[in-house]
Structure 1
Amino acid sequence: MKNPDEHTNASSLSQPSLDQNWRDAHEFVQALPAAVYTTDVAGRITFYNEAAAELWGVRPQIGKSEFCGSWKLFWPDGSPLPHDECPMALALQEQRSIRGMEVIAERPDGTRVPLMPYPTPIFDRSGVLTGAVNMLVDISERRETEQAAQLLAAIVESSDDAILSKSLDGIIMSWNQGAERLFGYTAAEVIGKPILVLIPADRHHEEPTFLARLRRGERIDHYETIRQRKDGTLVEVSLTVSPLRNTRGQIVGASKIARDITERRRTEQQQHLLLREMNHRIKNLFALCGSIVALSGRKASSPGDLVSAIRERLGALAQAHELTLPKASEVASRTEQSTTLHALIKVIASPYNGHTDRPRLSVSGPDIPIAGGAVTSFALLLHEFATNAAKYGALSTPEGHISIECSADNERFNLTWREHGGPRVENRADGEGFGSLLSRATVKGQLDGEISRDWRPEGLTIRLTVARNRLNTQ
């Protein structure tokens, strides 16, 4: 049997070691960057470290403050959370660890911090609950990252542009609604498939070049090309391709933005056509003025007569031009434009009639009403025909004249332009000038019609047929 003094000595020798362990543990917890605190079985705080005090913005009273040292607590949705219902209180009440709950702590200065608590009950050797320890993790940065990611995802998903990602092997990894609208595939149909499903066969060579540049970390900006939809139709797009990197900075894929530029290209083509038309019209205007001067000079007996004839014909030309311009309605404040075919032909012909009794241009057949864009289209067509006739055909000679024959049924309107008495037409000119191209575009595109020309020795014959329903479209 051991001497009691020996037992006492052994206990006294072990006590400093226990105290030292406690001091070491205390210093360790104080040094932790994470907020840590403990409570007794009633939930009264028995210890907290400096990180906890900094997180709370207050120093709770040891032995008095209960469950949590926060000034106020809230649920993630912003509703108040009573301290006696917080995760620490729940851990003590149910005597189990609580995981996965988020709360918001409000400091006395009003700032709020989203937290992830990890309360764990503490039991003695006999299994009796003696208190709990809690660690509070500030998830502000994670929450900001999640919100930024959600915002970015919402932007990507709502974008009108097609936005997708692919691996360095060219396999589609993500697909937004804009991509579905542009290419016709759903995300389920294309994710996991090669990007080549979107690339026409004659452009497959582009993909290896893109992938090689991406592996080098290069960005591809506004590359204009053609891609293929699900239904096989082609679409002009502008591509922006950027390398995607993982957390270690390694390039693992690419993000791609595809923008449909079909409308932009169409607008550019229209602008180009308008510029060419403007240039063509200006040239024709000078040529027409020259023809008017030449025609007027043949009949003028004095400089005064010449000036008068030129002034009258140029005035008539201006009146014809007025018919091609829309007029604002004073009643409805909208664009209106209407006349009849015979009235339009009369105005177009007036610069060439001069002072003779016989008109240079005559018209026969039904006098049909025309309105809206059809007025502009017909005026431009007739002006084009007359200008060419003044330069090369029947209106370039004093004896020449033109007959215009009209006919119509329920669906189509037909016009035949015949030139007589002009220079003999030896053969048809090679190629097709811009005026002819413009006439053809006007007839097909705006009037849903067809136009043909027949160069006969006695003069040019033009046959024009258009859709009847296009003549009165406002």
Structure 2
Amino acid sequence: METDTNNQHTDKPAGGIPGAGYLDFIQTLPAAIYSTDASGRISHYNHAATLLWGREPELGKDLWCGSWKIYDTNGEPMALDSCPMAITLREGREVTGVEIIVERPDGSRRNVAPFPRPMFDGEGKMTGAVNMLVDITDIRKAENLLRASEENSRLMVVNLEKNALEQTRELIEKNRELKISEERYHKMIEEVEDYAILLMNKEGIIQNWNKGAEKIKGYREEEIIGKHFSIFYLPEDRQQQLPNKLMAAAETFGKAMQEGWRIRKNGTRFWGSIVITALHNDAGGIIGFSKVTRDLTEKKIAEDKIRKYAEELEFQNKELEQFAYAAAHDMKEPLRKIQFYNNYINEHAGALPEKMKEYLGRSVNAAGRMQQLIDDLLTYSKASSFSQELAPVNLNAIVNTVVLTYHDSIERTGAVIECGLLPVIRAIPFQFNQLFENLISNSLKYFHPDRAPKITIAASLVPGSELKDIRNPEAIYHKITITDNGVGFDTSYTSKIFDLFQRLHDDPGYAGTGIGLAICKKIVQNHQGIIRASSLPSQGAEFAIYLPGTGY
């Protein structure tokens, strides 16, 4: 097979040699095309076909299809003599509405829609067939992703407490150059309905039209030939010279791509993805443009719907946080009165029966626990906010401040705290003070009764590629560990240890509201990091914090 790029796979048809401009136009179409003789042996194929197959078939030898292997949509192997091209040659008819799976030599697979049709000579004798293979892999993936995204978005709205946001993924449109004879291409391109394909002269005047263009834009060929392609654009786009700007960009850079709203003949709008490619003569001069348009209205509507769900979810989450803060704040004043009256009665309770004193003591303790819970809820609401400016924070200074705060507890328990050199990071200072205060107080609270508490704080640098659930795996992260030798916790708690109101131990001897570690997680997330916990019962626990090594 010849490899010269000027004539590769483009044997001229019986009708003569087409113009250079039209051949250049053919090369811009994103479709794989090949032909066979009447016996089914491949006689011609284009470069886009080799990209789809992942190989180059042997001309005059390979039968019906140049694919390495083919399967039906259920993944079952398909015999070559059962492929759509073989059926077309055997029965002398077009085969449409079929989907196959093509496997390349490297094992990768693509979903393909074939459009084989027979070719006949002037006497009606079948001389071979031509086939266009449309790669619809991205469409299938997009459909699956879209269904999954819509379902996830619906669940997120119903379950606000999960606070999970499913991101939509953009589709990548791929264009493959092709070189094929004008006659075989023309027979095939007329039947393409998923793409509006047209040729324009240097001034943007439409010179040809296909069925896809008629289906998408609504004009018949005789209505549109000779008109300027700006007829498809919104008035405001025409006023801003968008059509001319796209042609200028294609002339400068070779091609121009854009998505936006377009107008059909009947006045309705559709969301079009367009590629305008400049066509050149042998001397390199511009002789015209090709324009390929795809109707992505359904995709656009689905993306807008998901984006709206996300915005509504974010708004509702903010409202919930504001409500929680306001509710907790408003409960503090009546609680202070309850505590004041309880304490007053308790101080003058000398004449009360012992049972009443006991109940009064319980009431005082319950009010104290309620005060702690409200304070923790307010702290959690503040930790959910990222409104403050980041500032350089020396983590060693933060640890020293927290150690002084717990001086009495450290002396009482004989605890030893060892802290290595910690980094200076950009953070919200009061939030990181709260983070280390919660983690160190946990280690002091859950100490092992048979040994003095020992808390070790260390830092190192690790690549993001070693971590899961990291936003930027290419970045370097600070790893900060707080390790203790306390009672530890059951590993069954690992997946829910940072949930609200989740306590590590049910022993009433350990005070707490179950909010502290949830606050820690929220603070670390505010700073684009993650926090993890590991432990073995009676052997201590370790909390590992991963933070970006540079500003964010």
TM range (shorter): 0.3 to 0.5
Higher strand proportion:
1
Rg: which structure is higher?
A: 1
- TM normalised by structure 1 equals 0.37
Higher relative contact order (CA 8 A, sep 6+): 2
- TM normalised by structure 2 equals 0.32
